[in-house]
Structure 1
Amino acid sequence: MNAVFLGMACLLAAAAGYWVLGRGTPRPTGTWATGALLGSFALAFASYSPLVENAVETVVPHVARLLSNCASLAAATAVLAVSFQLNLEPAEARRRIRLRLVLFAASALGMTVLFAYEQMTHRSPQVYALYLLLFISYLGFAIVDFAQQAVRQSQSARRSSVRIGLRLAAAGCAFALVYTAYKLTVLVSLGLGFHLIHDHTECSSLVATPCVFSVTSPALAVLLICIGLTLPAVVYPISQARRHRWETRSFDALGPLWQDLSAAMPEIVLPAAPLQDKAADADFLLQRRVVEISDGILALRPYRSQQVLETVQRTTGAGPQEKAAIVEAAMVKAALAARMAGRLAENVAPPSAEAASRKDLRGETQWLLQVADAYAHHSARVADDDQTPVGA
């Protein structure tokens, strides 16, 4: 138990420190709220640990429960603050956050007063019931509020990591509602004097009753909500690194095709931009290269022979997409040779249907990568007595 809860507390505390101190400047929207969220959850996990619980209760008896409950309410408030800052206009987000902070402060203060009075009355069940009512009211309100936002936003989010993260957070809210229902059952039991559930039972197992409701459920809720809210921030730099690597490799792979086209038609090369570092601005350079290659292929259209197209199509055997790339590469090579020889096509071949189907820059880039690979390795030989070497 100590290893599980203290380990999670240390992990969350480290994440909170990184989020607040290691994010650089200017800090992204929601930085402080997310730091408060992770820190509150770290305190909640620490308070679940028997080691911490025994240590603090040697000073103030039973105070671990108050610390845990206040940390849970603080975390719920921080969750709402993160959600508001990311999904609402700044003015509306600030208004809602201020209202939640006032409610949280009032709830925490009321719980502290009731806890102190409960201790003075030798743990009066009636006072504890009022304490629980205050805790459950704000916690249930915050959970339902966030769950509604998470479900709604997950349906409209464009990034898959955001959608998955919000759905994990919504699942965490479900476990939190299980915990709230358990606390409500304790409250009803106390209010009616049934004493069906002993809420103060010490837990030695995460799956024993009532610990599965009082400890395991909130722990799973904390874990899922933390993972859900931080998943996009973790996935984003990984996806950016993968995208950067793809852009750099694509830029290099398009090099041979671009060199032949630009050597034959220097006019397709766009005006020189300020000195760019390819490693730092691969996206800009790749877009530039794709545009220049596309312009070069368009400029070769008067030299694309229908006879050559039919010959290449007959002699090329491959799958539909691979064949289309090989045919296009052969057509580019033949058109370049015809242009350098000064021979316009008598019957101009239509542009590639595969190229026309690519509607965005990434799709066009992927198509040109296939053409460039075929151009360098698999392009068909075109029988032409006057063919001139390309790129000479």
Structure 2
Amino acid sequence: MIDLLFAGVAVVLLLAAGYWVRGRGGHRPTGTWAMAGLLVSFALAFGSYVSVVENAVESVVPEVGRLLSNSFTLAAATSVLAFMLQLDLEPAEAARRIRRRVLFLGVSVAAMTVLFTASRLNDDSPQLYALYVLIYITYLGVTAKDFGRQTWKQAGHSRRRSQRVGLRVTAVGCAFALLYAAYKVFGLISIGLELNLLPHGVRCSTPVSPVRCVFSVTAPALAVLLITLGLTLPAVVWPFSQFLRRRWEARSFTALAILWKDITDATPEVVLTSPGPHGSAAYSEEQPAEDSDFVLHRRVIEINDGVLALRPHRSARVQGSAARAVAARGLAGTPEGDAIVEAAILRAAVHAKMSGSEPRTQAAPPASRTASRAGDLRAETEWLLLVAEAYAQNGIAHAPTDPIPSAPIPSAPDEPALDELTPSGTDPHA
């Protein structure tokens, strides 16, 4: 089972490394190669723990698997630092510091190799092994502490949710790395003082058995997985979130078509001019697949401009009639209810404008929370989607909502009620 865990982690890390280094339209994000080095180093470290690999290398040099694994782990720690430096510093300064870190890595690995060899030549001297562990755990602990603190701090300043979550997951992974470092320090003290608190050479049968394997195996495995997940999450989530955004924009663009067409037919002056060869109307009716954000934004602007142009024709009587019908359904004060009332007002205003009615002396006020939505494309779109759905399908926006005589009312001859919009109360677009 433990071999399966190590092999699985190594495969996942190699796949993640391949994702990072693959081409992205000729552009690779800052820190791509440092991230790839981190993932490949961790993959090699965990791969060296697999029994088949470990037995193969140790058949040549006994217990050399530990040196290889520790060296790969330090290489991964250096890659973490390089990634962080490339994000936080200017390129020249980052390159200078990375070169210094790589030099420090080389010295550390060389010292560990010398101590490992000397320990083997001196019957596994505990003192030499303690020095070996000291070099290893110092490098690893300092790196985990610095990187964990930096990622947690940066999480509070990130604007994208996936980045905030990913950086916090990475910080938690660093905490597990520090737990592993603390375990190694405990082992170092035990070796240095010859207390034999941690039996040497005992192999782990599962990630939690014996108990010390929780610290020696499970903690570093979780640290690597969480750091990998946290650093890779934004890169994986971003294209998926963009796909969902573009799909929502495309569907919203289509869902607003009926409302947009009626309003722009009544107020053609609100349609923005298009640089395209087919003219403004054609551009607004056909959505370019790669410009979903632009054309949706354009459609929302044109609808809102049309609503403003129709303001003189907004009937207060239609508003009151629709509001009473909405209240009877228990929807008063809800976004759905407000959208139904607005749809009824707009349908009456479009009809009045198309039929040449005179503007009203007291027009119905704008819909509630109009000012709070200004400048927020998503909020505006979600509101207009409710209005468009009610405009196209809701019975209150189509059918009579207040019994009004068919003859004009003397005090307000130019204000049609909902049942006066069409000869039989039916939808003129049906």
Please, what TM-score do these two structures have when normalized by structure 2? 0.86
Q: Which moved more, 1:270-279 or 1:224-233?
A: 270-279
| 1:293 alignment counterpart | 303
In structure 1, how many angstroms separate the alpha carbons of the residues matched to 2:113 and 2:25?
37
1:387 offset after TM fit, Å?
5.5
1:366 to 373, 376, 382: 382
In structure 1, how many angstroms separate the alpha carbons of the residues matched to 2:301 and 2:238?
27
In structure 2, how many angstroms separate the alpha carbons of the residues matched to 1:87 and 1:280?
33
In structure 2, how many angstroms separate the alpha carbons of the residues matched to 1:390 and 1:105?
80
Instruction: Report matched runs for 1:1-392 at 5 Å.
Output: 1-207=2-208, 208-274=210-276, 278-317=288-327, 318=329, 319=331, 320-342=334-356, 343-359=358-374, 360-378=376-394, 379-381=397-399, 382-383=417-418, 385=420
In structure 2, how many angstroms separate the alpha carbons of the residues matched to 1:199 and 1:283?
62
CA contact (8 A) 1:336 1:390 kept: no
CA contact (8 A) 1:312 1:380 kept: no
1:339 offset after TM fit, Å?
1.2
CA contact (8 A) 2:34 2:79 kept: yes
Q: Which moved more, 1:78-87 or 1:381-390?
A: 381-390
1:144 offset after TM fit, Å?
0.4
Provide closer, same or farther for how the CA distance between residues 383 and 365 of structure 1 changes in structure 2, counting only shifts above 3 A.
Answer: closer
* Structure 2 residues not aligned, in runs of 5+: 278-282, 400-416
| 2:403 alignment counterpart | none
In structure 1, how many angstroms separate the alpha carbons of the residues matched to 2:383 and 2:75?
52
1:105 offset after TM fit, Å?
2.1
State the SS of the aligned residue for 1:270.
Answer: coil
* Structure 1 residues not aligned, in runs of 5+: none
In structure 1, how many angstroms separate the alpha carbons of the residues matched to 2:185 and 2:25?
43
Q: Which moved more, 1:40-49 or 1:86-95?
A: 86-95
1:171 offset after TM fit, Å?
1.4
Q: Which moved more, 1:73-82 or 1:266-275?
A: 266-275
Provide closer, same or farther for how the CA distance between residues 334 and 125 of structure 1 changes in structure 2, counting only shifts above 3 A.
Answer: same
1:333 offset after TM fit, Å?
0.9
In structure 1, how many angstroms separate the alpha carbons of the residues matched to 2:51 and 2:276?
62
1:102 offset after TM fit, Å?
2.6
Please, what TM-score do these two structures have when normalized by structure 1? 0.94
In structure 2, how many angstroms separate the alpha carbons of the residues matched to 1:356 and 1:116?
74
1:391 offset after TM fit, Å?
6.7
CA contact (8 A) 1:172 1:220 kept: yes
Q: Deviations over 1:151-203 (max 9, x none)?
A: 11122222222222112111111111111111111211222222222343322
1:256 offset after TM fit, Å?
0.5
Letter of the 1:328 counterpart: E
In structure 1, how many angstroms separate the alpha carbons of the residues matched to 2:363 and 2:90?
56
State the SS of the aligned residue for 2:369.
Answer: helix
CA contact (8 A) 1:316 1:327 kept: yes
1:285 offset after TM fit, Å?
0.9
In structure 2, how many angstroms separate the alpha carbons of the residues matched to 1:48 and 1:167?
28
CA contact (8 A) 2:16 2:232 kept: no
Letter of the 1:220 counterpart: L
In structure 1, how many angstroms separate the alpha carbons of the residues matched to 2:95 and 2:43?
25
Q: Which moved more, 1:1-10 or 1:240-249?
A: 1-10
1:286 offset after TM fit, Å?
0.6
Rg larger in structure: 2
Count of matched residue pairs: 392
In structure 2, how many angstroms separate the alpha carbons of the residues matched to 1:298 and 1:390?
22
Letter of the 1:246 counterpart: W
RMSD between superposed Cα atoms in Å: 2.1
Provide closer, same or farther for how the CA distance between residues 68 and 193 of structure 1 changes in structure 2, counting only shifts above 3 A.
Answer: same
CA contact (8 A) 1:334 1:387 kept: no
CA contact (8 A) 2:45 2:68 kept: yes
CA contact (8 A) 1:326 1:380 kept: no
CA contact (8 A) 2:348 2:421 kept: no
Letter of the 2:337 counterpart: K
Letter of the 2:323 counterpart: Q
Provide closer, same or farther for how the CA distance between residues 233 and 309 of structure 1 changes in structure 2, counting only shifts above 3 A.
Answer: same
In structure 2, how many angstroms separate the alpha carbons of the residues matched to 1:96 and 1:330?
66
CA contact (8 A) 1:103 1:138 kept: no
Q: Which moved more, 1:365-374 or 1:149-158?
A: 149-158
Q: Deviations over 1:277-301 (max 9, x none)?
A: 6222211111111111111111111
Provide closer, same or farther for how the CA distance between residues 39 and 375 of structure 1 changes in structure 2, counting only shifts above 3 A.
Answer: same
Letter of the 2:345 counterpart: M
Q: Which moved more, 1:313-322 or 1:85-94?
A: 85-94
1:255 offset after TM fit, Å?
0.4
1:89 offset after TM fit, Å?
4.1
Q: Which moved more, 1:337-346 or 1:375-384?
A: 375-384
1:24 offset after TM fit, Å?
4.3
In structure 1, how many angstroms separate the alpha carbons of the residues matched to 2:421 and 2:161?
54
In structure 2, how many angstroms separate the alpha carbons of the residues matched to 1:350 and 1:256?
23
In structure 2, how many angstroms separate the alpha carbons of the residues matched to 1:311 and 1:24?
56
